[in-house]
Structure 1
């Protein structure tokens, strides 16, 4: 993380014209404020020119600082809350939100642009409703490389139970639950599926069946997964139900990968103002901007997830390949808050060699 320079107030660019005696020339001095710092997870991405629209509207540039996966992002915010890393955070999700709220790393602000249409994405009152604005959502699911299985002549798995069968040994990769929000979402799916007393045995079976565990989603998907845009040899990976559209090439009539919809956990990502910012008013404007239609329309093709703003539109063909689980696994925020550290400790004891 880089140390940032904080602005001295909310003044926009000021230009001071100074006449130089005897020469008839003019000298200008710029008093431009430093950029707003947007702290994000490593997977944050918007199309070129999108954040520049905020600068056009406000005169303030945005500097993006990546801080690892969502779990690492929250950890860094907690460790640095007495000397904030930035002004706004994006990428805290419903699996880590309660920790961020309880540790006091967020200022009290949620975008006033939210409507009843987005209420389904809000956290329960008292768990961060007043501090987090939903930005995107998606189902975290096991993704499958259709082409790999077709060439191998092996039937694709369908359920979580299938993943521990011998025919899928050494074929599955997942990001770690203690450093990755999709990894934690998958852990929570197994908790919901097998119960507080049964998920540990399931994970031991996964480990015995050769599951590979990477630090983050990017390594799991782009390095170890065997899909067309990846470089690996494992045809099963924890990703999103909205990942397959981005494997479709021009002229394709089917996606080469798919999501196993019986393995999904629904995830929502949020933005918030970081407590201690000296740019509260401008930081609030940036949160509003992330919820705006300009950004929301860009999210599907930039970050492979669904926008939450009811006025946003999906790209052509998105609905043909991006599926939504009808009955995703659910764990309540209260249960996550009460048990997350215990579950992660138990998970690490099983998953760490």
Structure 2
């Protein structure tokens, strides 16, 4: 509990860093006894952002074992973290930065914001997470995918004397990102906006891979795909949290299956009370929902589309020019140990970077493993901000432009 309180206090202190470009004794009095940090103290300053999860019990165990206190500063977004590292390059405000993702990985390395560090006893890593020359250390990863509500796609059983009713039946189960620009599915989906959501940018990376903007005549570029998605009714949410926990209808135990078209109880958009049966989430989202249930549930009405997923890694590094680089390295060593790795999963459904860590009971029951696309950090890092600007322009044109033209229908009379 004390560690959680220190983290909250330091999180507020991070705003002081923005104003004064230095943190004061008041920001660390509980964590380090107001030691003289200018001479180097037994304290490690950790910089991360609001959504990155640091397991409190692992941090407490590190302090108990080493005597090294941890002061956590949180910025609002990954972009704020990068900006603060750049502005404080002459006098770094942190010893360790945690949560650098695949989008910013190459930029952080090329900009010299961190220094290479090789962990003393690294464990086996998930494939393709390692960084050349130990420029940054893998901490966790997530596989971003479509999630959907299985009960929405169940077709009621028919009696022998009943004929199929196409209007009554649901659309087919989504199989990949093509569902988002399929008229049968688009109006049932909510996705995070890439202009305002990091998870939305991960979706943008997946779309660029399937529908490259400069892919030639054989492929429809993703800006046109996005315009189609919006015109067919895909809903944009400003954050991943709103898309997942407010607009998406997943997580509850499965509803009873309808048994007949004569006595139907289908799951429809109306029956979901305005919530939607498809969203862009992660392979770990079912296990996240399971954590909110009282005890381990037997079933959840949420599933993962295993195609067209994208893997995003998260990394830690020793900040260039930091006061306590050696102590920061000891903390990064601890982040690769089983206690920290077991607790690294968060509400986004991230996973430990080590491949030998046992999963939580929720993940063992509901987690899904996929074969995702692994973006090249150099290519994605050099282009994602341009893609984001294009995304914003497409959305703005859709929202402010004229409505799409009505389709023309030609009726041919018999004999004409």
Which band: TM-score by shorter chain? 0.7 to 0.9
1:47 to partner: Cα distance: 4.5
Tell whether 2:338 aligns with 1:293: yes
Tell whether 2:16 aligns with 1:2: yes
Q: 1:140 aligns with which of 102, 125, 144?
A: 144
1:70 and 1:179 in contact (8 A); partners too: no
- Judged with a 3 Å threshold, the aligned counterparts in structure 2 of structure 1 residues 110 and 251 are, in CA distance, closer, same or farther, namely closer
Give structure 1 stretches of 5+ with no counterpart: 8-12, 16-28
The count of aligned residue pairs is 329
Give the distance between the partners of 2:230 and 2:93, measured in 1 at CA: 37
Give the distance between the partners of 1:252 and 1:217, measured in 2 at CA: 24
1:145 and 1:235 in contact (8 A); partners too: yes
Q: 1:209 aligns with which of 226, 232, 248?
A: 232
User: Superposed, which structure 2 residues align to 1:57-72 within 5 Å?
Assistant: 57-72=65-80
What is the match of residue 309 of structure 1? 354
Tell whether 2:180 aligns with 1:163: yes
1:93 and 1:181 in contact (8 A); partners too: no
1:210 to partner: Cα distance: 3.5
What is the match of residue 105 of structure 1? 113
What is the match of residue 170 of structure 2? 154
2:42 and 2:327 in contact (8 A); partners too: no
Give the distance between the partners of 1:349 and 1:220, measured in 2 at CA: 21
1:14 and 1:31 in contact (8 A); partners too: no
- Greater displacement, 190-199 / 311-320: 311-320
1:69 to partner: Cα distance: 3.6
Give structure 2 stretches of 5+ with no counterpart: 1-14, 26-30, 156-167, 215-220, 253-272, 400-416
- Judged with a 3 Å threshold, the aligned counterparts in structure 2 of structure 1 residues 30 and 348 are, in CA distance, closer, same or farther, namely closer
User: Superposed, which structure 2 residues align to 1:73-88 within 5 Å?
Assistant: 73-88=81-96
1:285 to partner: Cα distance: 1.2
| Between structures 1 and 2, the one with greater strand share | 1
- Judged with a 3 Å threshold, the aligned counterparts in structure 2 of structure 1 residues 107 and 154 are, in CA distance, closer, same or farther, namely same
1:295 to partner: Cα distance: 0.5
What is the match of residue 249 of structure 2? 226
Cα displacement string for residues 4-25 of structure 1 (whole angstroms, at most 9, x for unaligned residues): 5489xxxxx999xxxxxxxxxx
- Judged with a 3 Å threshold, the aligned counterparts in structure 2 of structure 1 residues 216 and 287 are, in CA distance, closer, same or farther, namely farther
What is the match of residue 392 of structure 2? 348
SS of the residue aligned with 1:137? strand
What is the match of residue 329 of structure 2? 284
Give the distance between the partners of 1:150 and 1:347, measured in 2 at CA: 34
1:318 to partner: Cα distance: 2.0
TM-score, with structure 2 as normaliser: 0.69
- Judged with a 3 Å threshold, the aligned counterparts in structure 2 of structure 1 residues 166 and 82 are, in CA distance, closer, same or farther, namely farther
